[in-house]
């Protein structure tokens, strides 16, 4: 029997790309250009802690310049390597293309274990990293716009903005140099929850498709479906809480580094999130049984398995244990290319990362637009819409002679706040992208899975841009 060789993360992404690229009609040269990373900046910079210096290894990689600026998060993790950041940058290109966000893909990585540094030390590292990016022209609202990723959040983005602004004090659009900022510092409402909310919209949409559900023996609809989530970071927490609160899904398992909380009757997600916040771990949580095995989370029988942590967590060594009907990739690259082959053979549906976790960059795009327009969404039209709606309700009351209750009047006349508009824009984006991908999957005979369909859809869009530039006629 042929021995299966596990590709690393970058090889996995490239194998998936090649598989899909072979199903397109684009010229080889064009596909090669789309495939490769355009600019790679590897840096080593010193940071002084007390009277000691530490040399930090870091990266910013721009995968594709077919659109500007390039866009993608910055990761703080001790596993950062050039190939990891290359893979993540490539995924950003295809992610942005899929959800029609007009950016090229990029990613940054700082090779540190963020948990081992104090807040002051993290601030020093972040600011120095930003200076390196400024020096080499790797950041700017029209050049390359970072955002949060694993190990970073709005706090780090605020430091990046502050550092950038110090050097670009006359640049009117400077605040658009980074997204995922705190709302009070030119951020946007709804960015923090965006990736998890997008994951929820994507899963909900798949579960609405009667033919797909019939094929895997599920009834349509997310309500009551069992879900297991790996990772209770930003993406995992919001996926769990929104799926439960808005979709009525049953969260039966949540895994963290110290074990999996399992409760077949459903976990109280909010309680577990607060427990983890105060204790730094999930073990000891009274609302479920603790499973200690490394792969226990993926062996739980459930409808939807959501890996929401790091890459390559489902590989050929453990893929056989999966008992779920759907794998929803909230993380980037959680399933290796070889594991995917095994899982697809078992009839499992995989919703791919580059589609499913695109909610983060989608709302980053809204934030960037807000920054460039120097105005909050809803400021111009909220009252106008409320007054128009009120006139309509008043007219209906007058014509029918019936009174609309105060509560209903409020509901019917409400204009959109920033958060309402962001959520509705995100929902629209995730649903459109889902149906674009599904259309490719259903139309193309040789395409049987969502990842290949998503890649084809994204490659076609990027190729279209290059052809419009006249570079590849």
Specify the residue, 112 or 319, whose C-beta has the smaller distance to ligand GLU.
112
Closest residue to ligand GLU, judged by C-beta, is: 73
| 260 contacts ligand GLU (rule: CB under 6 A) | no
The structure tokens listed for 34 are 């789309």
Q: How many residues belong to the site for ligand GLU (CB under 6 A)? A: 12
Identify whether the C-beta of residue 101 lies closer than 8 Å to the C-beta of residue 68: no
| 73 contacts ligand GLU (rule: CB under 6 A) | yes
Backbone dihedral angles phi then psi of residue 166, each to the nearest 5 degrees: -60, -35
Give the range of 217-225, 358-366, 418-426, 447-455 binding ligand GLU by CB under 6 A: 358-366
The structure tokens listed for 285 are 């949580």
Q: How far apart are CA 376 and CA 183, in angstroms?
A: 11
Within residues 319-338, the interface with ligand GLU by CB under 6 A covers 332
Q: How far apart are CA 74 and CA 154, in angstroms?
A: 11
- Pattern of binders to ligand GLU over 371-410, x per CB under 6 A? ----------------------------------------
Backbone dihedral angles phi then psi of residue 460, each to the nearest 5 degrees: -60, -40
| 309 contacts ligand GLU (rule: CB under 6 A) | no
* Shortest CB 360 distance to ligand GLU, Å: 4
* Shortest CB 129 distance to ligand GLU, Å: 16
Exposure on the CB side of residue 19, measured as CA atoms within 13 A: 20
Long-range contacts of 115-124 (CB under 8 A, 24+ apart): 121/47, 121/49, 122/76, 122/156, 123/159, 124/47, 124/48, 124/49
Identify whether the C-beta of residue 459 lies closer than 8 Å to the C-beta of residue 26: yes
Identify whether the C-beta of residue 419 lies closer than 8 Å to the C-beta of residue 189: yes
* Shortest CB 417 distance to ligand GLU, Å: 22
Q: How far apart are CA 272 and CA 259, in angstroms?
A: 13
* Shortest CB 72 distance to ligand GLU, Å: 5
Pairing status of strand 326-328 against strand 289-291: unpaired
Give the range of 317-325, 355-363, 393-401, 409-417 binding ligand GLU by CB under 6 A: 355-363
Give the range of 70-78, 127-135, 259-267, 444-452 binding ligand GLU by CB under 6 A: 70-78
| 213 contacts ligand GLU (rule: CB under 6 A) | no
* Shortest CB 162 distance to ligand GLU, Å: 19
Which of 229, 349, 356, 361 is in the footprint of ligand GLU by CB under 6 A?
A: 361
Active site members: 107
Binding site for ligand GLU (CB under 6 A): 71-73, 95, 147, 149, 179, 332, 357, 360-361, 364
């Amino acid at each position: 029997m042929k021995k299966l060789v596990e590709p690393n993360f970058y090889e996995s992404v490239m194998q998936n790309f090649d598989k899909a690229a072979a199903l397109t009609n684009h010229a080889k040269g064009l596909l090669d250009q789309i495939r490769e990373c355009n600019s790679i900046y590897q840096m080593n910079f010193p940071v002084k802690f007390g009277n000691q210096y530490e040399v930090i290894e870091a990266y910013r990689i721009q995968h594709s310049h077919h659109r500007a600026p390039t866009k993608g998060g910055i990761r703080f993790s001790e596993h950062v390597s050039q190939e990891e950041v290359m893979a993540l940058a490539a995924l950003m290109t295809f992610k942005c293309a899929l959800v029609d966000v007009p950016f090229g893909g990029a990613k940054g990585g700082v090779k540190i274990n963020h948990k081992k540094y104090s807040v002051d030390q993290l601030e020093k590292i972040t600011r120095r990293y930003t200076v390196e990016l400024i020096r080499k022209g790797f950041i700017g609202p029209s050049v390359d716009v970072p955002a949060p990723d694993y190990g970073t959040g709005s706090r780090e983005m605020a430091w990046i903005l502050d550092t950038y602004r110090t050097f670009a004090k006359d640049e009117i659009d400077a605040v658009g140099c980074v997204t995922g900022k705190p709302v009070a510092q030119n951020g946007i409402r709804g960015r923090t929850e965006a990736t998890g909310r997008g994951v929820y919209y994507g899963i909900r949409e798949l579960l609405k498709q009667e033919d797909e559900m019939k094929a895997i023996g599920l009834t349509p609809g997310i309500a009551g479906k069992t879900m297991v989530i790996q990772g209770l970071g930003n993406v995992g927490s919001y996926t769990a809480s929104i799926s439960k609160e808005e979709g009525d899904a049953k969260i039966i398992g949540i895994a963290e580094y110290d074990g999996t909380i399992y409760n077949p009757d459903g976990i109280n997600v909010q309680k577990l999130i607060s427990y983890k916040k105060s204790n730094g771990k999930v073990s000891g949580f009274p609302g479920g049984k603790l499973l200690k095995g490394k792969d226990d989370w993926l062996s739980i029988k459930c409808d939807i398995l959501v890996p929401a942590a790091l890459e390559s967590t489902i590989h050929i060594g453990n893929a056989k244990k999966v008992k779920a009907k759907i794998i929803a990739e909230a993380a980037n690259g959680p399933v290796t290319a070889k594991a995917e082959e095994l899982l697809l053979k078992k009839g499992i549906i995989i919703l791919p990362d580059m589609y499913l976790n695109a909610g983060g960059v989608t709302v980053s795009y809204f934030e960037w637009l807000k920054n460039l327009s120097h105005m909050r969404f809803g400021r111009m039209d909220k009252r106008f819409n409320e007054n128009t709606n009120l006139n309509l309700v008043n007219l209906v009351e007058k014509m029918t002679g019936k009174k609309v209750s105060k509560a209903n009047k409020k509901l019917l006349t409400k204009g959109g706040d920033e958060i309402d508009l962001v959520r509705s824009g995100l929902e629209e984006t995730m649903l459109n992208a889902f149906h674009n991908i599904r259309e490719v999957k259903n139309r193309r005979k040789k395409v049987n899975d969502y990842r290949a369909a998503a890649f084809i859809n994204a490659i076609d869009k990027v190729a279209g841009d290059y052809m419009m530039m006249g570079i590849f006629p």
